[in-house]
Chain A
Amino acid sequence: MALAGLVSAIGVWLAYSTPPDALQRTYARIINIHAPAMWVAFLAFGVTALGSIVWRFTRNRRWDHLAGASAEIGVLFTVIGLVTGMIWGKPVWGVYFDWADPRMASTAVLLLVYVGYLALRRATIDPEKRASRASILGIVAVIQVPLVYFSVNLMRSLHQTQSIRPGGSTIHPTMLRAMLFNLGAFTLVYVALMSARMVVARLEDARDARQVSAAGSAVLPPNLGGPSLRGIGDG
């Protein structure tokens, strides 16, 4: 986590030190946060789908934890991407949210779908049912990611098309260096957050396993943080 923080700090410094754009001036620097944030969001939702698929085959809860944790982080980075996009959009396009821009609108829809995914996970108490239902939604919802990414190619849009392509880049090398560094930094932050969240998920599982059934499995004692009820009522 410390390494991720350090690398991110270097990334922010690099972004701040890039020269201003000829047309967009200093506003262009926000792209060093916006693009990496969306990249990590896409990666996170892809990992959610992968975890969901593997869970369906193995029924190993660890893959469900991976899917859920990745979705949470994906939502966070989608919000960062949308907010930074809106901050950039106001001075450049004149509006915070351009409804005519397919990428912006489809990204907002993507966010809502995964907010729904997280709401479904939270509302389902039984771990097996949660994993089963969430895995289906996680596999279906990822279809949107390529649609969002290629929306600028499929439809007319204010949003620029891909700047980094297999044949080369249209970005100035100084700016490209900063953006690629931040890409790596954000990915490192994602990995760090994932690790922490997986640990929390394992601890939550361990806590749930320690709960004692007071009257069959239909009733569980509330977890008030007091003395454990283990052993009470045992023969």
Chain B
Amino acid sequence: MTFWRQVRAITSYELLIERRSGETWSIITPFAAAALMTIPLAIGINLPLISSIGWPIFWSIALLFGMQVAWRHVSGERNAMRDAITLLGVDPAARFTGRVVASGVLLSGFMLVIGVLTVFLYTPDELNRWPWLIVVGLLFAAGLAQLATLASDLTIGLGARSSLAPLLVAPLALPLLIGAAQATDSLLRSAGILPWLLTLVLANLLLAIVGVLTARPLQEAAT
């Protein structure tokens, strides 16, 4: 089986598990929606302030709850499943890539739903070149998917995995957050977003290289 066929197989397997469990759409997305509502309630009746923080809040929620989406499989993952994939001779890099693609797809859908909710709940300022927001969102989702998958592999088999992995991801995801938030701010001001796009692209490239290079050592460390 070629590398890319393995990637396709792993991606299909991950998305199938998600379709059966429904964790992203039935649990995480409603939880994120609830979080979106708590902030305006805490601020009170200050509509201009709520409107001005709409997009920054969107990116923060996308980061914090996006981590949950990327880890949706952590609680259900079993050593036997992982070992079976290893024994089948699946390339660790292909496994990493497949999981990243699956997480990226789910994250993109999640962010689309949260984005629509943000527009309705916060009425943020309109973006002049809103299609670029989709590009920024896809880069953000890809970077977060890679980071979360990497953190998941680093913490396999640990009892404190569900709390340790976010601690590892959150600080390293800040360049993604800054890039996305500043790109959005630039779109609002009709300024250029190229530096921030390059930041996101660079972060993604770096994470991809690290993820692929460390896939085999991390698999060996997990056994």
* Min distance, Cβ B175 to any Cβ of chain A, angstroms: 9
Cβ–Cβ contact A119 & B154, under 8 A = no
Which residues of A sit under 8 angstroms from B170, Cβ to Cβ? 112
Q: Is the CB of B217 within 8 A of A120?
A: no
Interface residue count on the A side (C-beta < 8 Å): 18
**Nearest A-chain residue to B222, judged by Cβ:** A129
Report A116-155 residues with CB < 8 Å from chain B CB: 116, 119-120, 123-124, 128-129, 132-133, 136-137, 140, 143
Residues of B within 8 A of A56 (CB): 217
Q: Is A3 interfacial (CB 8 A cutoff)?
A: no
Q: Is B97 located at the chain interface by the 8 A CB criterion?
A: no
Chain A residues, CB < 8 A from B157: 129
Please, how many angstroms separate the alpha-carbon atoms of A56 and B220 in the complex?
12
**In the complex, what distance in Å separates the CA atom of A4 from the CA atom of B172?**
35
The reply to whether A132 and B221 contact each other, CB–CB distance below 8 Å, is: yes
A113–B172 CB distance below 8 A: yes
B41 within 8 A of A: no
In the assembled complex, A212 has its CB within 8 A of some CB on chain B: no
How close is B148's CB to chain A, nearest CB, in angstroms? 14
User: Is B85 engaged at the interface, CB distance under 8 Å to the other chain?
Assistant: no
- A109 interface residue, CB < 8 Å from B? yes
Q: CA of A104 to CA of B150 in the docked complex: distance in angstroms?
A: 26
Report the minimal beta-carbon distance from B69 to chain A, rounded to whole angstroms: 20
Contacts of B168 in A (CB 8 A): 113, 116, 119-120, 137
- Within B72-89, the residues touching A (CB, 8 Å) are none
- When chains A and B are docked, how far (Å) is the Cα of A215 from the Cα of B56? 55
**Bound-state Cα–Cα, A136 to B214, Å:** 7
**CB-based contact A129/B221 at 8 Å:** yes
CA–CA, A128 and B220, complex, Å? 11
A115 at interface by CB-CB < 8 Å: yes
> Measured between C-beta atoms, what is the minimum distance from A26 to chain B in Å?
34
B154 touches A133 (CB 8 A): yes
- In the complex, A179 Cα to B214 Cα: how many Å? 40
Complex Cα distance A88/B164, Å? 33
A140 and B164 within 8 A (CB)? no
How far, in angstroms, from A68 to B170 measured CA to CA in the complex? Answer: 21
Taking the closest CB of chain B, its distance from the CB of A127, in whole angstroms, is 12
Contact A133 B218 (CB under 8 A): yes
Given the complex of chains A and B, what is the CA–CA distance between A112 and B171 in angstroms? Answer: 6
In angstroms, Cα B168 to Cα A133, docked, is: 12
B217–A132 CB distance below 8 A: yes
List the B side residues contacting A136 at CB < 8 Å: 154, 214, 217-218, 221
Q: Bound state CA distance, A208 and B91, in angstroms? A: 35
State whether A124 touches B217 (Cβ < 8 A): no
User: In the complex, which residues of chain A have a beta carbon less than 8 angstroms from the beta carbon of B218?
Assistant: 132-133, 136
Residue B37 interfacial (CB < 8 Å): no
Considering the chains assembled together, what is the distance between the CA atoms of A115 and B163 in angstroms?
13
Nearest CB on A from B27, distance (A)? 25
Of the residues A109, A119, A128, contact of B167 by C-beta under 8 Å = A119
State which of A113, A119, A132, A140 has its C-beta within 8 Å of the C-beta of B210.
A140
Is B155 an interface residue when CB atoms closer than 8 A count as contact?
yes
Given the complex of chains A and B, what is the CA–CA distance between A109 and B178 in angstroms? 12
Contact of A119 among B164, B217, B221 (CB under 8 A): B164
Given contacts A112-B170, A116-B167, A119-B164, contact A137 B154 (CB under 8 A): yes
User: Chain A residues with Cβ under 8 A from B214's Cβ?
Assistant: 136, 140
Q: What residue in chain B is nearest A56 (Cβ atoms)?
A: B217
Q: List 5 A-B contacts (CB under 8 A).
A: A132-B217, A132-B218, A133-B155, A133-B221, A140-B214
Chain B residues engaging chain A, CB cutoff 8 angstroms: 154-155, 157-161, 164, 167-168, 170-172, 174, 206, 210, 214, 217-218, 220-222
Query: Which 10 pairs show the lowest CB-CB distances between chains A and B?
Result: A112-B171, A132-B221, A116-B168, A123-B160, A116-B167, A123-B158, A113-B171, A109-B171, A136-B214, A129-B221
Residues of A whose CB lies within 8 Å of any CB of B are 56, 109, 112-113, 115-116, 119-120, 123-124, 128-129, 132-133, 136-137, 140, 143
